[in-house]
Chains A and B, each alone.
Chain A
Amino acid sequence: MFKYTIKRILVGILTMFILSTITFFMMKIIPGNPFSQDNKVLTPKTYEALEAKYGLDKPVVEQYFIYLNNAIRGDFGESISKTGQQVIDIVIRRAPVTARLGSVAFVIALTVGVTLGIISALTKKRWVNSLITTFATIGVSIPSFLLAILAMILFGVMLGWFPLVGLKTPLHYVLPAIALALNPISMITRLTRSSLRDVMSKDYIVLAKSKGTSELWVIIKHGLKNALLPVVTYCGPMFAFLVTGSFVIESLFSVPGLGMEFTSSVINRDYTLIMGLTLFLGAIVIIMNIVSDIAAAMIDPRIKLGK
């Protein structure tokens, strides 16, 4: 277990290193530099001073090592479009908003997804099963932002049940959180359904039943415990999805979180902010992947032997 954990962490660090290197050199090959795009006329002196301030006058390789060294300490420099603000401060200020919305969506996805999966796997009524399967198919295939637009029109504009802008009250969370969670809900429903069906036909379930264990206890203790492994493994990719999904959901519902910040930094070509946010979001996804892999290996020791 220890060895597996160390191995996963090392791969994670390597991934992080590669991501930061790619990000850095991508930013370097973008034609022009942040200041030449300004419409303001810069005297050569101001230009030099600006370059010196952001360290752009040094050779690229040296810039790269300075950047790596600073990035490890969480210092991404000053934002270009928001002068006077440190990138790390912007990240710290915006992250809680995204984290709140993301965790609400995470909880909804897990509870609703697992519940629907169990119902669909165990129900004897055909129409219930086909209703859930249809829902899951639509949720998996249709992009979340299209469903979000439809939900906005239906519940926000036409029925007026939910507010559409910001995250002030719990009511504000309903539409964005559901829109963000729809795809993961459908994925989890499918995973739970298929693995629970597999598990319920295993010998040990039949044995438990024939020994007189109650139906509910068999499902919880023997069925679910073994069926939820794919769901645990899926949690890593789900975090990645929630992070990228937040780009569009936050912009659609005007939620001032990391996703919205990232979109506007790309539009404003705020290079330091883009680099900082890319690395921060990348790091979160990588860490969550490691956590869910290790959790899966703890539940099922076969996984670490397979690698």
Chain B
Amino acid sequence: MSNINDLKLTDDLFEKLDDSEKNAEFIAMESKTFMRDSWNRFKKNKLALFGLIFVTLMILFAIFAPMFSKYSYEMQDLQNRNALPSLEHLFGTDKLGRDIFVRVMYGARISLAIGFASAAINMVIGIIYGGISGYVGGRVDMIMMRTVDVIYSVPGLLYVILILMVFGNNLTSMLIAISITSWVNMARQVRTQVMSLKETEFAMAAKVIGASHSRILLKHLIINAIGPIIVTLTMMVPQAIFTESFLSFLGIGISQPQSSWGVLCSEARGLIHTYPIQIIWPVAAMCLTILSLNFIGDGLGEALDPNNGGMN
């Protein structure tokens, strides 16, 4: 037996390892950001994905379809009234010979704008109100929440109608009316989140370091409550679209020429016995959009919940 020292170790005896073997012993999964993790979970929910695609398409059509169509939403073709769907007019024409496809897409602009804008305003009011109420606590919280209870116990629609009567039947006053009455849910949601988050260690740490109250509230508490806030926000969009169309359908919401989906339904209503197809289009557009937004909300609710299995 020869001594080990006698072995001749030349370079050609060794072989370089493949790079992939470097971390063979390293056990950890790929690090993912919160957003990417959520997106992966969201993608798995087929309904939510369908909703997202549908709403995106709807928004694109709402923006571009009226621009590129050869018809405008108010152009009348009296020779061609109450036409059935054809290649010329995709959804047919209404009682004044106006192209229903363009009108539905134009209505989508108004309805979606109301939905998203009022949700955004609601979010701001809700975060400020709920944030202050939950953060300050004590007597302030009690008074603020009793106020919310009082507002909540009367159907918001009654207030919306009163506000519309004061400011007139147009888009701006509809936005004001919906925003003033529907921030209550958001405020409650934010308050609950802030109340539980302000007891956590990181909030305490921020306080000890000497961060200001507004910084703790915005940068530490609200940011960590962003999941539930986004979910509530998504649910508010269909709610606002519904309120607007409900009132416009009754003739006490917004009025011509701002023809939202509700206005379109209300116009086609008189022809429900003779040309039921005309009311189907705006109704279908609204049903699918509202359903899609609800699917997105449900999907986001599952996806943004940090306790919802991070390993996949």
Contact = CB atoms under 8 A, between A and B. Distances in A.
B272 to A, nearest CB: 6
Contacts of B287: 142, 146
A26 B158 CA distance: 12
A84 B1 CA distance: 127
A243 B155 contact: yes
Interface of B is mostly: helix
A138 B150 contact: no
Given A244-B155, A285-B155, A157 B272 contact: yes
A8 to B, nearest CB: 10
Interface string B153-180: 1110111011101100000000000000
A153 B280 contact: yes
A137 B295 CA distance: 9
B279 interface: yes
Interface in A84-130: none
Interface stretch (A67-75, A194-202, A216-224, A261-269): A261-269
A143 B159 contact: no
A149 B283 contact: yes
A1 interface: no
A263 B249 contact: no
Given A149-B265, A153-B272, A248-B249, A266 B157 contact: no
Given A142-B287, A143-B242, A157-B276, A29 B166 contact: yes
A76 B157 CA distance: 21
A150 interface: yes
Contact of B294 (A137, A150, A157, A278): A137
B155 to A, nearest CB: 5
A23 B162 contact: yes
Interface residues of B, number: 35
Contacts of B165: 26, 30, 266, 269, 274
A65 B141 CA distance: 31
A138 B280 CA distance: 17
B290 interface: yes
Interface stretch (A14-22, A37-45, A55-63): A14-22
Interface in A270-307: 274, 278, 281-282, 285-286, 289
Contacts of B159: 22
A152 interface: yes
A256 to B, nearest CB: 15
Contacts of A158: 276
A142 B157 contact: no
A146 B241 CA distance: 12
Nearest to A281: B158
A248 B294 CA distance: 22
B286 interface: yes
A145 interface: yes
Contact of A143 (B149, B161, B166, B245): B245
Interface in A1-49: 11-12, 14-15, 18-19, 22-23, 26-27, 29-30
Contacts of A289: 153
A251 interface: yes
Nearest to B241: A143
Contacts of A140: 294
Given A12-B153, A18-B150, 9 more contacts: A19-B154, A22-B159, A26-B163, A29-B166, A141-B238, A244-B155, A247-B250, A266-B252, A285-B153
A-B complex: 9 closest residue pairs judged by Cβ atoms: A141-B294, A26-B162, A153-B276, A143-B242, A244-B157, A240-B155, A266-B252, A244-B155, A15-B150
18 contacts: A19-B158, A29-B166, A137-B294, A140-B294, A142-B290, A142-B291, A146-B287, A149-B265, A153-B276, A153-B280, A158-B276, A251-B250, A266-B252, A267-B252, A281-B158, A282-B158, A285-B153, A289-B153
